[in-house]
Every structure is written in C-alpha cells, then in structure tokens.
Structure 1
Amino acid sequence: MNYFRQLVIAVLHPGSGSGSALDRTNGIAVFLFAILPGLSPNFNGFILLGSMLSGIYLLATARFPLNFSKSDRVVAICMTIYPLVMIASIFINPPYSEVADWIFRLLPFFSIWLILPRMRQSPDGRLVPLFILGAGIGMIVTFLVSLLQIMFLMERAEAGTSNAALLGIIGLLFGGVALLNVQSPKSVEQRIAILGYAAGLGCVLLSGTRSAWLAIPVHLVILLWYFRKHSFHLSLRSLAITGSLLFAGLIALGSGQIIHRIQALQENMAALERSEGEITSLSARVALYKGALSAISKDPLTGYGPQNRMASVLAELPDSMRPYLTFSHVHNGFLTAGIDAGVVGIAALSLLLLTPLIAAWKKEPGPGRDLSMALALLLTSSYVVTGSVGIMFNQKALDPIFAYMVALICLDRGSTVFTPVVRS
C-alpha cells in the first residue's frame, strides 16, 4: 500500500514551479488515458478532446510556444495528410448531409498540433513511464471485468468496450506496452508489468478476437528485440517461473474460447466451400472484399467518400446478400481507405501508420529512442495486423488512442533514460 500512496503523490504532486499545474494535469490525463481504454474507451475521446481545447486556449493566450522540432513537424504533417484527404473526398463526392459528422470523427488526427506542445511542459521522461504503468494497471482491472463477463454473462468478453473485437485490439496493444515496465528497478512496477501483459493476453483470448491472436507472435518478436538491447532488474529464473505459471493459467482460462473460435472458423470455411449461399462471418468478409475491390477498380482515383462507403460496396454485390451485410466498414482498413478516397486514400493511410515509426526514428540515438521505437512498433503492428481483417480507423476509440500515442512517442528526446514512476 505504501507504493500506491507514493504513486498518488507522484501523479498529483509532481513538484513545484511555474509549470507544475500543467505538469500535474498532463500526468493525470496520461495516466487515466492508459488505464481506461478497456474499461470505458469513450473517456479516451473525452480526454483527447479536452486536451485539444485546452491546447487551443493555452496557445492562444501565449502560455507557452508551439515548440515543435523539425521532426515533430514532419510527423504532424504526415499525420494531418490522412484527415485532409478524407475531408477532400467527402466534398468531392456528394451528398453532403453527413459532412459535419465525418469531419468531427477525423478531429483526433489533427490533435498532435495542440496536445504535444502542452505535453512538453512536463519534464522529459515523466509522462511515458506513467503511460506504461497505467497500461498495466488498466489491463489487470479490464481482465477481471472480462473474466466476470465470461463466467456469468457473455460468450465473448467485451469488458467496457461494447465490442469484443475492440477489446482484443486494446488488450493486445496495452498488454504489450505494460510489459515494457519490466525494466523498472521497482519490484512493484515489475509485477504490474508482468501481470498487465498476462492480463492483456487474457483479454485477447477471452474476447475471441482471432486477428489479435495473429499479432501476438509479432509483439513477442518486438519485445524480445527491445529487451535484448536493454537490461532489466528481474532475474531470468524468476521471470521464467512467473511467465510459465501465468501462461498455463491463461491457457486454462481461455481454452474454451480458443476451441470455440477455431471450430467457428472451421465451420465458416466448410460453409464457404459448399457454396450454398450461407452467410457466415468468413463469407461476409469475402463478399465485402470482392465488392470493395470491384468498386475501387471503377473509381480508383477519388473513391466514393466515407459517407457513401457501404452503398458503393453493396452496389457491387447480389441483391440477396445485401440485407445480411449491415456493416459500417469492409473489415480491411486499406480497402476501406480505397473506397473512401481511392489510391490516394490508401497512400495517406499507409503514411499515417508510419508516423509512429517516423517519430521514433527521427530521435537522437539513445535509450529513449529504443523505448520510443518499441512503442511505435507495438502500435503500428497492432493496427496493421488486426486492421487487415477487421477494425482499423474511423472508430471512436481506436482513433484517439493512435493519435495520443503518436504524440507520446514524439515527446521525449532519444537520450532520455527510462525512470520509474515512484523514484523514492
């Protein structure tokens, strides 16, 4: 309990000075942002919107300068291209009845211009460890909620996300982020890191999100790369024993869900081979991909605008299938961008996905650069792997998470050394 009292002090009373009030609110916002995705992702959008409005006010009143480095500007411009392309496609392709709604949805991708200068009012090395620690705590609580849902209520866990696939993506990403705290010299933070990673994997398994299962080996490679370059304060024997016990527990808890989802996939594949017109999860995706490719081939330059997305896809499919395909996207982020804005949209999306890597690569060499690269690789791979067969962007939870994490990756210098949140 003494550690958690010190943690409260570290978050709420970071120090004194002219920037202490901004530093305090930065710390609270970052810490809550990391804890909440699996419990109530709408609050992540509220935190981002509040930070943007605050940034507008503070910049307008000259409380601090824009303070963008050359690399910051490169990242911000690359990130801004995607929403500008999508907004252009909205105006190129009538009707215009949903223009305001779609522009509002794209606001998170402009946020880096407003929230990064505010984050810079905190000392280097303070906010990223808070985010990593918060990710571990959030995943532990989210897993407990998910476990209760599986035990008493639901076939697939959703926690507070209202979407099992969304929980799988969040568990994958934030579990991986949480494990980075194994490098902390504080034993409590090490335990939270390991438990947070296991909890994140537990959320992935209990959610039954098969696309997130595919990304787990990718994350393991990223984490092994990072930990090979940096020593951590946990003995390998202790880590092996703890990891083996947690892995066995996760398999025991998630085995039913794993078997059920594999059987469902086998049944879907068998139904697809029978060609009897049965609509399953797999056949619906295949139909959406075919419709999307056909529509893109007819208008590859400008697309149809996000407001016409599904109408243009369904127009390429048989009338008998349309009533069963009640989706808002085509379950592939790249095809969705192609429908929205043609090949330019696909190029803008690809550039957006590269912004975390650009932000990390542009830093000066050092431990801070390695940590930023690990965060960037975890973030980009999570969205690319899961978004290739499911949700990627244009989602009220995933868009703020991506934008906020890109700003955090930009934040510290490459030479910044990782420090624990509670230092005493």
Structure 2
Amino acid sequence: MKYFKQLMIEVLYPGNKAASAHDRNNGIAVFLFSIVPGLSPNFNSFILLASMLWGAYSLATGRLAMNLSRSDRLVAVGMSIYPLVMIASMFINPPYSEELHWILRLLPFFSIWLVLPRMRQSPDGRLVPLFILGAGIGMIVTFLLSLLQIAFLMDRAEGGTTNAALLGIIGILFGGIALLNLQSPKSMEQRIAILGYAAGIGCVLLSGTRSAWLVIPVHLVIFLWYFRKHDFHLSLRSLAITGSLLLVGLIALGSGPVLHRIEALRGDLPSLERTDGEITSLSARFALYKGALSAISKDPLTGYGPQNRMASVLAELPDNIRPKLSFTHVHNGFLTAGIDAGVFGIAALSLMLLTPVIGAWRKKAGPGRDLAIALALLLFSSYVITGSFGIMFNQKALDPIFAYMVALICTDRGSIRFAPVVSS
C-alpha cells in the first residue's frame, strides 16, 4: 500500500517543484487513459476530447505555442491525410447523408496538433513511464472483471468494452505495453509489468479473439529485440519461474474459451463449400471480402464514401446472402478503406498506421528512441494484424487510443533514459 500511496502523490503532486498545472494535468490524463481502455473505452474518448478542447483553448489564447519539430509535423500531416481523404470521399460520392456525423468520428485523427503541444509541457521522460505503469494496472483490473464474466457463464469475456473482439485487441496491446516496465528498478513496478502482461494475455484468451492470438508471437519478437538492448533488473530465474506459473494458470483459465473458439472455427469451415446461403462467422467474412474486392475493382480511384460502404459491398453479393450480413464494415481495415476512398484511402490508411514508427524512428539515437520504437511496433502490429481480420478504425475506442499513443510516442527526446514512476 505504501507504493500506491507514493504513486498517487507522484501523479497528483509531481516531485518537480517547477511543474506547471499543465504537467500535473498531463500526468493525470495519461495515467487514467492507460488504465481505462478495457474498463470503459468511452472514457478514453472523453479524455482525448477534453485534451483537444483544452489544447485548442490554450493555443488560441497564447498559453501554449505550437512547438512542433519537423518530425512532429511530418507525423501530424501523416495522421491528418487519412481523415481528409475520407472527408473528400464523402462529398465526391452522393448521396450525401450524415456528413457531420462522419466528420465528428474522424476528429481524433487531427488531435495530435492540439494534444502534443500540451504534452510537451511535461518534463521529458515523465509521461511514458506513467502510461506503461497504468497499462499494467488497467489490465489486471480488466482481467479480474473478465474472469467474473466467464464465471457467470458468458461464452466470451467483454470486460467493460461490451465487445469481445475489442477486449482482445486492447488486451494484446496494453498487456504488451505493460511488460516494458520490466526495465524498472522498482520491484513493485516489475511485478505489475509481469502481472499486467499475463492479465492482457488472459483477456485475449477469455475474449476468444482469434486474430489477437496471431499478434502474440510478433510481440515476443519485439520484446526480444528491446530487452536484448536494454538490461532489466529481474533475475532470469525469477522471471522463468513466475512466467511458468502464470502460463499454467492462464492455460487452465483460458482453455475453455480457447477450445470453444477453435471448435467454432472447425464447425465453420464446411460452410465455405455450401451454396444454400447459410452464414457463419467465417463464411460471412469471406462473403464480405469477396463483395469488397469486387466493388473496389469497379471504382478503384474514389471509392464509394463511408456513407455508402455496406450498400456498395452488398450490391456485389447474391440476394439470398444480403439480408444476413448486417455489418458496418467488412472485417478488414484495408478493404474498408478501399471501399470508402479507393486506392487513395488504402494509401492514406497505410501512411497513418506507419506514423508512430516514423515518429519513433526519427528521434535521436538513445534509450528513449528504443523505447519509442518498441511502443510504436507494439501499436502498429496490434492494429495491422487484428485489423486485417476485424475492425481497425472508425470505432469509438480504437481511434482515440491510436491517436493518443501516436502523440505520446512523439513526446520525449530519444536521449531520455527510462525512469521509474516512483523513484523513492
């Protein structure tokens, strides 16, 4: 309890006596943002919106300066191209409907212009460790909530997201972020790192999100690269014992949902050869992919606009299948972007996905650059792999998370060395 008391003091009353109100508010916002994704994704949207409004007010009144480096501007422009292409596609492709609704949904991708100058009011090296620690704490609480859901006979855990697939994406991403705290010299932060990663993997297993399972080996490669370059203070023997115990526990707890999802996949495979119009989870995806590719081939340059997305896909499918596909996207982020805005949409999406890697790579060489690259690769791989089989963007939780993390990755200089959140 002493550690958590010190943690609250560090978050609410930073040790830097010269710290401004901006710095204190930044720390609170970043810490909360990393805790709540699996518990209440709507709160992430609220934090981002509040940060954007306060950033806009501060810039307009001169309290903050648009202090963005050349690399920052490159990342911000890369983020902004995607929503601009989507907005242009809306007005190129009639009929016009709900334009304001779609524009509001795209606002998070412009947030870096307003959020990054505010984040820069905090000392270098303060916000990223807070985010990593908060990710671990949030995953532990989310996993406990997911266990309760499974205990009350839910087939797939959802946490506080109301969507099992969304819990799987958040679990794999924030669990991976939490493990980066193994480099902390504080034993409590190391424990939170290990438990947070195990909890994130547990959320993935309990949610039954099969696409998130594919991310696990990719993240292990990222960890191998990062930790080989940077020492961590936990003994390998202790890590092996703890990891083995947690692995056994996760297998025992997650075996039911995992076997259920594998069996469901096996049961869906024969549906791919049927012609009687029966739709399963797997056959629905293949039908959507087929319809999307056919529609894109007919209008590869401008697409159809987000407002015409599913109508254009369903028009390419047989009449007996259309009523059974009540989806808002085609379960592939790249195909969805192609339907919305053609090849320009796919190119803009690809550029936006690369912005965290670009922002991290262009930092000066040093431990801060390595940490930023690790965060960027975890973010990039999580979205690309899971988004290739499900939803990627245009989602109330995933859009703010991506945009906020890109700004956070850009915040510190590359030469900044990692420091524990609680130093005393």
- What letter matches 1:326 in structure 2? S
The equivalent residue for 1:375 is 375
Amino acid at match of 2:301: L
- Residue type of the alignment partner of 2:179: L
Could you list the per-position Cα deviations for residues 363-405 of structure 1 after superposition, in whole angstroms to 9, with x for gaps in the alignment? 0000000000000000000000000010100001000000000
How many angstroms does 1:19 deviate by? 4.7
* 139-148 vs 219-228, greater mean Cα deviation: 219-228
Equivalence for 1:353: 353
**2:409 counterpart of 1:409:** yes
Residue type of the alignment partner of 1:295? A
Question: Counterpart of 1:67 in 2: which secondary structure?
Answer: coil
**Unaligned 5+ runs, structure 1:** none
Q: How does 1:7-406 map to 2 (within 5 A)?
A: 7-15=7-15, 19-406=19-406
Task: Output the TM-score relative to the length of structure 1.
Answer: 0.99
**In 2: Cα distance, 1:396 partner to 1:90 partner:** 19
Counterparts of 1:185 and 1:310, CA distance in 2: 51
d(CA) in 2 for partners of 1:91, 1:348: 17
Report if the CA contact (8 A) 1:130-1:421 is conserved. yes
Cα displacement (A) at 1:274: 3.9
Please say if residues 143 and 203 of structure 1, whose CA atoms lie closer than 8 Å, have aligned partners that are also in contact. yes
Q: CA deviation at 1:97?
A: 2.0
TM-aligned CA deviation for residue 18 of structure 1: 6.0
Tell me how far apart the structure 1 counterparts of residues 18 and 296 of structure 2 sit (CA, whole Å).
54
Q: CA deviation at 1:44?
A: 0.1
Aligned-partner Cα distance in 2 for 1:16–1:264: 54
Q: Which amino acid aligns with 1:165?
A: A
For residues 106-161 of structure 1, give each alpha carbon's deviation from its aligned partner in whole angstroms, at most 9, with x where no partner exists. 00000000000000000000000000000000000000000000011411000100
**Percent of residue pairs identical:** 80
Does the CA-based 8 Å contact 1:14-1:20 persist in structure 2? Answer: no
What secondary structure, in the 3-state scheme, does the structure 1 residue paired with 2:390 have? Answer: coil
User: 1:174-225: per-residue Cα shift (whole Å, max 9, x none)?
Assistant: 0000000000000000000000000000000000000000111111111111
The amino acid of 2:69's aligned partner reads S
* Inter-partner Cα distance in structure 2 for 1:253 and 1:211: 19
8 Å contact from structure 2 (residues 169, 386) kept in 1 = yes
TM-score (norm 2): 0.99
Listed as ranges, the gaps of 5+ residues in structure 2 are none
Deviation per residue, 1:42-98 (Å, 9 max, x gap): 000000000000000001111121100010000000110000000000111122221
Say which SS state the counterpart of residue 331 (structure 2) adopts.
coil
CA root-mean-square deviation:
0.8
What secondary structure, in the 3-state scheme, does the structure 1 residue paired with 2:96 have?
Answer: coil
